[in-house]
Structures are given as structure tokens and as C-alpha cells.
Amino acid sequence: MTIRNNITFASIPKNEGMGFALQKNPKLVIQDVIESGLKGCGGAGFSTGVKWSYAAEVKGATKYIICNADEGEPGTFKDRVILAEWPDLVFEGMTIAAHAVGASSGIVYLRGEYTYLREGLEACLEERRKAGALGENIDGKEGFSFDIHIHMGSGAYVCGEESALIESLEGKRGEPRNRPPFPVECGYLGMPTVVNNVESFAWVSAIFAKGVRWFNQAGTEQSPGYKLFSISGDVEYPGVYEFPMGVKLSEILKDAGADNPKAVAVGGASGTLVPPSNFECKVCFEDVPTGGAIIVFGQKRSLLDVAENFQEFFADESCGQCTICRLGNAKLLEGVRMLKEGKCTEKHLDDLCSLGSSMQVASKCGLGQTSPNVFLSIVQNFREEAMECAVNNPVLTSKEASHNIFQSVVRLFRGEEVPEQTVSNHATTTSKGA
Amino acid sequence: MFTHSPAQQRTTPLSSEALVVEHDVLQKEIDELIKLKGDSRGELIPILHEIRKRHAYIDCFAMQYVADRLGISAAEVYGVVSFYSFLKEENLGKFTIRLCRTISCDMAGKQLIAQQLEKELGIKFGETTTDGLFTLEWANCIGMCDQGPGLLVNEQVFTEVTPKKVREILDGCRKTYQENKQGGS
């Protein structure tokens, strides 16, 4: 059971939005998308309509519409659900985009981990071709041809960044490009390219089916509309939820059944770690932005374990192009482990924070810019806990751990109470081979 | 992601059903692939994918030959292979098990599943069983955060894995393999 509340996409009839959009002049279509205020749902939050308008301005070139289905952010799985449940809406959205900017070719960049979704998507594409919703003269519209094919990713998180994704499509290493020029001017094969997230395309279809007003009256001024959230971690009901933008984090937590969390990562591993004092914050681009990932950490979780997991992820996934990201993430990982072992001085911690701040400004792409976020949030909000971690949860050698287990067993036999966490810290340190 | 040599990383001997391919056979396969997909640079990764799917790993000969056919340098092909985790891995086993190690699956108890897999198979992560059936690998977030711990067996996904389910999954693989073997002979 993944879907947890009423999601608009379930109620949108097939091809309704596309039918309306294709009857309109491309300029008006773009105007509508701008007016709806829809912002990219992958996390960066750039206006979808404005992006389209840039691509539409370039005349006479072959243009491409790319659907970014390389959903790799830890804690995010909404796109998987959309692709499995409502693929038509995504393909419709791509077709509307093609009509708006004048493109004839579309590509879905599907992450390798989602290969099992491919069969269903291909079947859906085939069905649409047969129904005349893809191919030549779509919907009976003379001269409008558009087709979509699926390209498989190969297991690289950084390819979710749009210019890295384009590099990967061109058969190269997925290393982000310098920008400008932006993909809307010079993207796939040097041509104007619109890259949007799966969810963004689906919302476009919904907006044309239900109307611009319906969408932009919800949400906040800077972040209109609705958004899907992937909620996981220490909650009663993990899954995909829909909320209007600007919803209070505490409301999300209440609906998902979070019981007095210690902290919440909004935006996944590259997002912000929100402490309880700030649970009343609004989830939107003005306050705490997110691509939809909400990971909840209960009272018993060690935030240093969380930071270690995230830094392992980034150290592994950094493309290595920018020195500060490549080495910075390795340094932060080392720092987290020093904290866990009680070997980190206050001075060194300050240095690490300064390194993190440098990474935020000196990295080329979003990966490096956001990878120190959680570490910095932990130091900012939970500095004492981080520094005292080693004292409160000493890291045990395997000999000490076995001794503790032995002691616990003896105590159990004697009917005495066994202290919690006798061995757990040892278990996490041995898993470092990961 | 940037320092990895597929050729040097081999830790397990090749299994009896050797995945070693004669160079002329490999050459023929690559020729056919290029005939099918075309020889543009954009087809490089799909071609490598296909080679990787058929064989345990992409060896130096294959990289050089693909490079020659696409008119690019072998170093560029190597650069691509070593960049992508699905291309650089050496999965000698028939079934590659990738256990998600990222945060939500971690909190849902991936460590227990990891231990169970290692014990059941008698290998560590990154290794292949001596019968050549299973390779064990870690995966970064596979998008099953609401149903962790999650793992992939080749392309198939399993969620809410428990130690008991681990045995079922492994038995299922063995059964599939036996059936295919009988069906093939």
C-alpha cells in the first residue's frame, strides 16, 4: 500500500487535458502553464512555463522534450508511483510540452533501478500510438508529430541533474555541464531541450484538465498548487501523499502518523534537517523547499548514523568533477566517523562546517551544493548531541561487544534488567564495509 | 565512482559455466548490436548495457572493439564503463542481488537482511558464490523507501524483506535457474 490519501491524478480522465491543450495556440498553452505557477517538482523549483517559453523562442531547430525519471534522491519514490499508476498523464504532459515548444521527439530517461517499470511504460506508449495520441498528426492535428522513446539509466544519482542527464543520453559520463548555456538553448545534441520531472509533466496534464484557476488558487504565493510527498522513516503510515504547497510540516507528520520525531529530513539527503522547534514551518519554496521527500527520524535514532549514511551516499555518488565535492564529501564522512568515535575537536568541527559552506558555493551542480546540508543542519541544531555521541554511545570493539552480550545473558538468567543499546553501536560500526 | 578497474577487481574465480567468451564471438555479437542500434555515440551506453547483460562484465577487448566501431577512443569507453555502477560491476553470478543501503531501508533493518544474505550464501558483499549463481552487491536508494528493506534481484524488486523472505527469494532463484537449465537442454 503506497498511496495514502486522495491524489488528483487518480481522478483525471485519460487525454482530457491533452485534448484541451492541443486545441490552443502554443503561445497560449505556455501562458497557461506560466499562469498556473507550476514549478519543477524535482526539487529545484524553476517555473515550468518559463522554461518552456525559453525553448519556444528558439526558431527553426530540432527540439527535444525529456522526462527526467531518474528518481535517485534518497527517500523519494513518488515518480515510481506515478509511472506505475498514471503513465498516460506523464506522456500527455510531454505531448503538451512538445506542442507548446514545437518539438517532435521525446525521451524518458528511466533509472536503471526501475527497469521493471519499463514493460508497462512501453505497453502504454504502444497503446497511445495505436489510439493516435502519439505519432503522426496527433489527435487529428494536421502536421503535429511527436513520439517518445525510453532510455535506460545505468545507476548514477548525479544523472538526475539535467545537464548530466543529457551528457548520459549522449553516451558520455554523467558529468554536469557548465551553465549557461542552459539546456533550453543548447541541450541534447546541442539542440533546445526541455527537461522536466515526471511529476511536473503529470501536473501539466492535470492543470489542462481541471483548469489553471483550480491549480493556482491552492498553495502559497510563490509556490502555487499541489505536490506529491514521499514519506518514509519512523512513521505509522509511510507512502505517497498529496498536499497543497505551503502545508505545515506538523500536518504532514500528523497524517503520516509520526510519533514525536527527533528530526525530519525535508528534501531527502540533500534537503534540510528540521528540528522539532521548527515543525510548524511551511513546506514550500519560501520556507522549507523540497522535491517531495520527507524522512522522519524517531527519538531513538542517532543523527550521526543518519549523517554517516548520507555522506557515504554522496561520497559514492559524487561524479568527481569538482574537487570540493569529490574530496569534501569524503572529508565530511571522515568527520562524522570521528564524531562517532569521539575524536573530533571543536576546532575540527568548525573547520568541517566551513568546508561544508564552501561546498555549497563552489560546486558546479546541485549534488555538491546540497550534499553538506544535512551535516550542517545537524551541527547547527544538534551540536551537543553530536559532540557527546561518543560518550553516550561508546563504540565498542568486537571483544567488548561480545563481553557485553555475555553479561546481558548472565543478567537475563538472573532475572535482572538488561540495559538497552548494549551492542547496537557495535553493529553499526561493523557495517562500514558497505 | 572514478577509480575502478573492472579487470582488476575480480575477486572470485570464474564459474564452471565460464562466461569467458572467445574474442571472435564477442566481436560478432558487438557487430550485430551495432547493426541493430546504429553506430552513433548516443548508442554507446545501450550497447554496453546489452554486452553487460549477456556477460559477467565488460572486458578490455570489448571496450576497445566498441570504441573502434563507434570511432571514439578506448579511454572514453573506459571512462563511461567506470562511471556507471550498473556497467562497472562485475556480476559473475546468474542472479545479482542488490540490497538497498540508503537511509530508509537502513532504518527498516537492512543490516539484518545483509547478515542473513551473507550467511545464507556464504559470501560477502561484492563477491560471487562458487557455484556462480549469486552475486551480492549494495545499491544506493532503489526508491522503495516506504516498503523497506528493499532489494533487487537482477531487474526484479522485492520489498519488506524479512530474514524468512530472504530464504524464499534465494530458493525462488535456484528454482528458476533449474527450470531454465532443464528447459534449455
CATH code of the domain covering residue A292 = 3.10.20.600
What gap in Å lies between CA A352 and CA A344, rounded to an integer?
10
Do residues A141 and A165 share a domain?
Answer: yes
Mean pLDDT calculated for residue range A337-352: 94
B96 pLDDT higher than 90:
yes
Q: What is the mean pLDDT of residues A232-238?
A: 96
Q: Any residues with CB less than 8 A from the CB of B31 and at least 6 apart, and which?
A: B69
Measure CB to CB from residue B146 to each of A2, A316, A326 and give the nearest one: A2
Percent of chain A with pLDDT strictly greater than 70: 94
Q: Cell 504502444, residue?
A: A126
Q: How many CA atoms lie within 13 A of A303 on its CB side?
A: 26
**Which chain A residues have a beta carbon less than 8 Å from that of B76?**
172
pLDDT mean across residues, chain A: 92
**Residue A391: what pLDDT?**
77
In terms of domains, do A307 and A285 share one? no
Residue at A246 is within a domain: yes
* Contact residues, chain B, for A155 at CB < 8 Å: 84-87, 139-140
Find, among B81, B62, B75, B70, the residue nearest to B1 by Cα. Answer: B81
Residues 11-30 of B with CB under 8 A from A: none
pLDDT value for A390: 73
The answer to whether residues A312 and A355 belong to one domain is yes
Hey, is the C-beta of A170 within 8 angstroms of any chain B C-beta? yes
Around Cβ B115, how many Cβ atoms within 10 Å? 15
Whether residue A314 lies within 8 A of chain B, CB to CB, comes out as no
Q: Total structural domains in chain A?
A: 4
Nearest beta carbon to residue B111 from set A73, A76, A427: A427
Q: What mean pLDDT is predicted for residues B143-148?
A: 94
In a domain, A66, yes or no: yes
By Cβ distance, the residue of B40, B44, B143 closest to A113 is B143
Q: Could you tell me if A93 and A161 lie in one domain?
A: yes
- Chain B CA closest to residue A316: B1
- How far, in Å, CA of B179 to CA of B170, rounded? 14
**Chain A residues in contact with B139 (beta carbon < 8 A):** 113, 155
B86 in contact with A at a CB cutoff of 8 Å? yes
Are A190 and A233 members of one domain? no
Q: Do residues A344 and A363 both lie within one domain? A: yes
State yes or no: cis peptide before A176, omega within 30 of 0.
no
pLDDT higher than 50, residue A427: no
Say whether both A69 and A190 belong to one domain: yes
As a whole-number percent, the residues of chain A with pLDDT over 90 amount to: 82
**CB pairs < 8 Å spanning A and B:** 140
Quote the percentage of chain B above a pLDDT of 70: 88
Q: Is the pLDDT of residue A369 over 80?
A: yes
CATH topology classification for B23-88? Arc Repressor Mutant, subunit A (1.10.10)
Chain A residues touching B145 at Cβ < 8 A = 74-77, 230, 232-233, 238, 293, 295
Average pLDDT over residues A332-349: 94
| Nearest CA-CA distance, residue B88 and chain A, Å | 10
Residues A367 and A270 in one domain: no
Does A185 map to a domain? yes
| Domain final residue pick, A190, A216, A242 | A216
> What backbone phi and psi angles, to 5 degrees, belong to A397?
-75, 165
Task: Give me the pLDDT at residue A424, please.
Answer: 46
Beta carbons of A319 and B87 less than 8 Å apart: no
One domain, residues A51 and A192:
yes
Q: Is the distance from CB of A372 to CB of A359 less than 8 angstroms?
A: yes
Q: Is residue A118 domain-shared with residue A185, that is, in the same domain?
A: yes
A41: pLDDT strictly greater than 70:
yes
Query: Cα separation of A202 and A205, whole Å?
Result: 5
Question: How far does B77 lie from chain A, in Å, by closest CA?
Answer: 8
Q: What angle do CA A263, A269, A274 make, to 5 degrees?
A: 25
From A188, A216, A244, give the residue that closes a domain.
Answer: A216
Give the per-residue pLDDT at B40: 92
User: How high is the mean pLDDT of chain B?
Assistant: 87
Q: What ipTM was assigned to the predicted interfaces of this complex?
A: 0.88
- What does the pLDDT average to over B158-165? 96
Chain A residues with CB under 8 Å of B67 CB are none
Which of A271, A297, A323 lies at the terminal end of a domain, its last residue? A297
* pLDDT band at B106; cut points 50, 70, 90: very high
**Same-domain pairing of A184 and A289:** no
pLDDT of residue A419: 62
Do residues A137 and A66 share a domain? yes
pLDDT at A432 over 50: no
CA separation for the pair B166, A230 (Å, rounded): 26
Model confidence pLDDT, tens digit, residues A186-199: 999 999 999 999 99
Domain ranges across chain B: 23-88, 95-184
Q: Tell me the chain B residues in contact with residue A72 when contact means C-beta distances shorter than 8 Å.
A: 140-141, 143
Taking domain B95-184, whether its CATH number is 1.10.10.10 is answered by no
Question: Does residue A344 belong to any structural domain of this protein?
Answer: yes
Q: Do A80 and B143 touch (CB under 8 A)?
A: yes
CA atoms within 13 A on the CB side of B9: 18
- Out of A72, A112, A238, name the one closest to residue B141 (CB): A72
Judging contacts by C-beta atoms under 8 Å, the chain A residues touching residue B107 are 233-234, 297, 301
Structural domain contains residue A386: yes
For B146, the closest of A169, A232, A326 (CB atoms) is A232
Q: Structural domain of residue A363, as residue ranges?
A: 303-392
Does residue A1 belong to any structural domain of this protein? no
Nearest chain B Cα distance for residue A25, angstroms:
33
Q: Which of residues A431 and B115 earns the better pLDDT score?
A: B115
Long-range contacts of A383-386 (CB under 8 A, 24+ apart): A383/A349, A385/A303, A386/A303, A386/A304, A386/A339, A386/A349
The answer to whether residue A432 neighbours chain B at the CB level (below 8 Å) is no
Residue A145 lies in a domain: yes
Is residue A129 a part of any domain in this protein?
yes
B69 touches chain A (CB under 8 A): no
pLDDT of residue B21: 66
Q: DSSP string covering A227-268, please?
A: EEEEEEESBSS-EEEEEETTEEHHHHHHHHTB-S-SEEEETG
Looking at the complex, does the CB of residue B116 fall below 8 Å from at least one CB of chain A? Answer: no
B89 vs A95 pLDDT, higher one: A95
